[in-house]
Amino acid sequence: MIKKNKSTLIRISLLLFVIFIPFSLNSNSEVPDSKYLEISSLSFYQTQTCDFSLFDFWRENIGNEKVIIKADFFSSINCFGKVNGVDYINDSFYVYIGTNLNINLLIQSLFWLLLISFIKIPKDTDFSEKLKEKSSLVGIIITALLFTSQIFTEPKFYNLYNKNIDTSISSENFFILSVFLAYLIILKLSDDIITPRISVVSNYLPFLFLVLGTYSSSNINFYIIYFCLIGTKNFSTKTLINKYSLLYIALVFFWLFNQNSSNNYFDVDKIRGFANSENSQGSLIFWIIIFYFFVNGLLHVFKKYSSQLDFKVVKNSFLISGSLTVLFGLLGTISSYLNFINFYFFGQNKNGMNTFQSVAGNTWRGFSASAEAIGEFYGVALLVSFYFIFKFKKVTFMEIISIGLILYGLIKTNDAAVLISLLLILTFFLSNELTKSKKGAINLIIFFFLVIIFLLVIAYSFFNPGISKDYDFLSQNLLIESLRNSFYFEDENLFVNNLVDSSNYKDISYLEDYEDVLSKSTRFLLENYISDRNTNYIPNITSVISIGSSLINRTDKWGLFISRYNPNNIEFLFGGGPMQFDKFYNSHKIKFNDGLILPHSSVLDILLFFGLTGIVICIFGSIKLMSKNTSDIKYLFLFYILNLLKSDSMLYVSAFILIIFIAVQCQNHKSNMLNID
Amino acid sequence: MEQNITVIEKICGSKPADVELIIVGNDPNFIFAPQENYILKVLYDLDGNIINVTSWLECANYVNGGWTDLIPGTVNWEKNIFIAYLIIFFGYLAKDRFVKFFKKT
C-alpha cells in the first residue's frame, strides 16, 4: 500500500514538474524584475524578449484582464516557455509564449504518458501475447524515421512553424537529429508505458477528447504515433493479404498515378495533426503509410481486447471526460493563461474559446476545435449514461452533476443535429425495449412514430424558422448556392446573376466558359436539373439532394463544396488518398478562396479521400454491422452514423478513433449483451 | 523611450545635447539623417541580423527596439538538445543494467 502511494506521489510530482519547470525558467539572474503589463510597460516587454518565463509574467499580471496569452510556434529553443513578444491590438495585450518543436515533442509526450501511467496494469496480464510484447528496437527506429520524414515531405508547414528548421541531410543537422531522437524516446517510452496496459486502454478512450494529443508546432498527433507502432508491430504477410489491405494497395496505385504535385500550401488549421498540408508525392506516400498503420493498429487493439471491455468503466470515462472538457473549456474562457495551458498540455489543435459570446449562431466550442465533434461526443456520453440509468434504474449524485455539465456543454455547442438524433435514438431504444414484452407492441410502435414526427416538425420549425416551404426554391437551392460560389461571381456579374435569379440554367449551360468556370459537380447538378429525361412528379437527383441539404441546414456548406469539387474520373471513383485536401481546395478557382471551410459531411470527406469506392464500402460495411445486430451497441453506431452525414468529425483524431472503436464493438457484439454486470 | 535611456546611452553613447529623443517606431517614411562625427556602430538582434547605425537617434531607436551591440550567443541549441536527448535515450535503455549494478554493489 505504502509502495503504491509512493509511486502515485512520484507520478504526481513528475506531472507538476513537467507543467511548471519548463515554463518557470527565466533566462538569467541579471534580468530585471518583471512588471505589470500596461501601455507604459509595453516597450519594456518588447525590448526584454525571451527573458521572462510564463509563470514569472503571470505572477506579476494576475488579474490583468487585458492580457491574452498565445503560443509562439516560431520560437528558438532558448526562448521556450518565455515571453517572446508583446503586441497591443484592440485594447488588448497579446503576449506570445515561445514553444519549439524539439522541446514540445518530449514535454508534451511526457505529460500524456504520465497521465496514462495512472491506469492500473491488469494483474492477469499475459506478456507473451503478441500485442503486449515490447516492440523491437529496430521497429522503433524505423517508426521514428518514418515520422521524422514528415519534416522533409511537408517542408512548407514545418518552415512556417519552426524557426531553425534545416532540411539538409547531414550529420551536422542537429534539428533533424534531435527530432528523430525525440521520436525514438517517445516511441520507447510509449511502448514501455502503454503496451502493458493495452488490454484496458479501450476503457479510457473517452479521455481522448480531453487529452487530444496534437503536438504544438507539428502536424502529427501522439495517438497516431503510438497506434502506428502497434500497426507496424503486427504487420505480417497475413495482414498484407487481407482483402482490405489488398484493396488499399490497389487504391494506392490510383492515388499515386493520378497525383499531380503542386507548389501549394494547405493551411491545416483546426485539423492539424491529421491532414496533409501539401500536395506532393512524398507527403502523399507519408500519409498513405501512416493512415494504413494507424488504422491497422487501432483494429488490432480493439478487436483483440473487445471481450475485456468493462462498459461501466467506459461509461464513467465518458462522464468524467465529458464534464472535464466542459470545465476546462470554461476555465480556458475565464483565464487566458489557463487557455494557453489547456492548449499546450492537452494538445489542442486550436486554442479553446476565450469568450462566452456567440460565434456563428451561438456556437460555443469551448475546449474543442469543432463544435460538431465535441457535440457528438457529448451526445454519445449522454446516450451511454441514459442507457445505464435505464438498465440499472439507479443514478449517483456525481453522475447527475456530470450529466448536467455535459448537457450544458451540448446546449452551448448549439448542435441541433446531435440533440435531435439523441432524442430519436433514445425514443427508438425505449420503444424497442418496451415492445420486447410484446404487450401493446403495436401501440408503442405507433407512439414511436408519432414522437418522431412530432420531433421532426419541432426541429424543422424551430431550427430553420426562415426556411422556405416553396418546393421550387428548395429543389434548386443547392444549385443556386453552388453557382453563386463559382468564379462567375468573383466580380459583380449581372448577366449570370439574372440567369440564376430567373432559374434560366439552360442559358448558363450555353455560356462559352461554362465548362471552365463551373466545377464538374456543379455541372452535374445543373444538367440533371434541366435534363429532358426528368419525369413530372418525380424529383430528380438535384432536387432530392437540394431539399435534403436545406432540411438539415447544410445548403451553404455543401454548395461551397460542390462549387469546388472538380474531380477527374479516377479521383471520383477512388479519391485522392487519405487526408488529402490540397487538390480539392486549390485546383479549382471559385469566388471564395480564403479560410478553411470543411465539407461538413464525413461522407464528402470519404468521397475526397477514397472516392465512390470508399462510400460504397462504408455503406455496405455499416449495413452489415447493423443488420442482424441485436446488441445495444448498435444504437451508438447509428447515432454516430446519423451525425457523420452532416459533420466532419472523422477529421479529428479523437473522434476518428471513437468511430472505429464503436464500429468494432458493433461487429464483435452482434448478439450477446454487453458486459455491464 | 526615456525609461531605457541608461541602456541606450550605454550602447550608443551619451545623448548629444542638440538631439531630441523621439520614437520613430515602424514609420517606413522616416529617414535617419547621418550624424556628423558619430562613429558608425554595428547592432545585432536576437536572430543575428546586423544593422549599421550612423546617428545617435538611429542607434537609440534600434536599441529601444531590442537591438544590442553584443554579437548574439552562438550557442547551438539544437546540438545541445541533441546531446541531451542522446543521453536520455541511452540512459533509459541502460536503466535496467544500472539498477542491477547498484543492487549488486
Which chain A residues are closer than 8 Å to B46 by Cβ?
Answer: 49-50, 76, 79
pLDDT confidence tier of residue B2, bands split at 50, 70 and 90:
low
Indicate the domain borders of chain B. Answer: 2-64, 75-105
Which chain A residues are closer than 8 Å to B92 by Cβ?
Answer: 185, 188-189
Q: Which of A175, A192, A193 to mutate to test binding with chain B, by most B CBs within 10 Å of its CB?
A: A175
pLDDT confidence tier of residue A140, bands split at 50, 70 and 90:
very high
**Any chain A CB within 8 A of the CB of B66?**
yes
Q: Which range scores top for mean pLDDT: A224-228, A395-399, A505-509?
A: A224-228
Distance CA A616, CA A604 (A): 12
Read off the pLDDT of each residue in A183-197 and give the average, rounded to a whole number: 95
Helices (H), A202-270: 222-233, 237-240, 243-257
How long a stretch of residues is chain B?
105
According to DSSP, the β-strands at A92-98 and A67-72 are parallel
Measured N-to-C along each axis, helices B77-93 and B95-104 cross at an angle, to the nearest 10 degrees, of: 50
Query: How much is the ipTM here?
Result: 0.86
What residues contact A662, with CB distance under 8 A and at least 6 apart? A380, A633, A636, A637, A640
What residues contact B5, with CB distance under 8 A and at least 6 apart? B15, B21
Cβ-based burial of A473 (10 A; exposed 0-12, middle 13-18, buried ≥19): middle
Helices (H), A518-601: 520-530, 541-551, 555-564, 569-574, 582-586
Inter-residue long-range contacts of A357-366, CB under 8 Å, 24+ positions, other chains counted: A361/A414, A362/A412, A362/A414, A363/A413, A363/A414, A364/A412, A364/A413, A364/A414, A365/A413, A366/A325, A366/A326, A366/A329, A366/A330, A366/A332, A366/A333, A366/A409, A366/A412, A366/A413
Do A281 and A602 form a contact (C-beta atoms < 8 A)?
no
User: To the nearest whole number, what is the mean pLDDT of chain A?
Assistant: 87
Read off the pLDDT of each residue in B5-17 and give the average, rounded to a whole number: 82
In angstroms, what separates the C-alpha of A297 from chain B's closest C-alpha? Answer: 25
Q: Which range scores top for mean pLDDT: A39-48, A212-221, A298-307?
A: A212-221
For A188, the closest of B66, B73, B92 (CB atoms) is B92
Cβ separation B4–A47 shorter than 8 A = yes
- Comparing CA positions, the residue from A605, A535, A58 lying closest to residue A373 is A605
Read off the pLDDT of each residue in A646-652 and give the average, rounded to a whole number: 93
**Any chain B CB within 8 A of the CB of A188?**
yes
| A&B contacts, CB < 8 Å | 58
| pLDDT of residue A225 exceeding 80 | yes
For B85, the closest of A48, A79, A178 (CB atoms) is A178
Distance CA A50, CA A45 (A): 9
**Any chain A CB within 8 A of the CB of B52?**
no
Cβ separation A174–B88 shorter than 8 A = no
Read off the pLDDT of each residue in A6-32 and give the average, rounded to a whole number: 87
Distance CA A609, CA A615 (A): 10
Buried/exposed A241-271: b ≥16 CB within 10 Å, e otherwise: eeeeeeebeebbebbeebbeeeebbbbbebb
- A437-485 pLDDT, tens per residue? 666 666 666 677 767 766 776 666 556 655 666 777 888 889 999 999 9
pLDDT confidence tier of residue A677, bands split at 50, 70 and 90:
very low
Read off the pLDDT of each residue in A355-382 and give the average, rounded to a whole number: 80
Nine-digit cell at A317? 470515462
Phi-psi region of A135 (alpha: psi -120 to 50; beta: other; left: phi over 0): beta
Amino acid identity, position A381: A
Which chain A residues are closer than 8 Å to B73 by Cβ?
Answer: 78
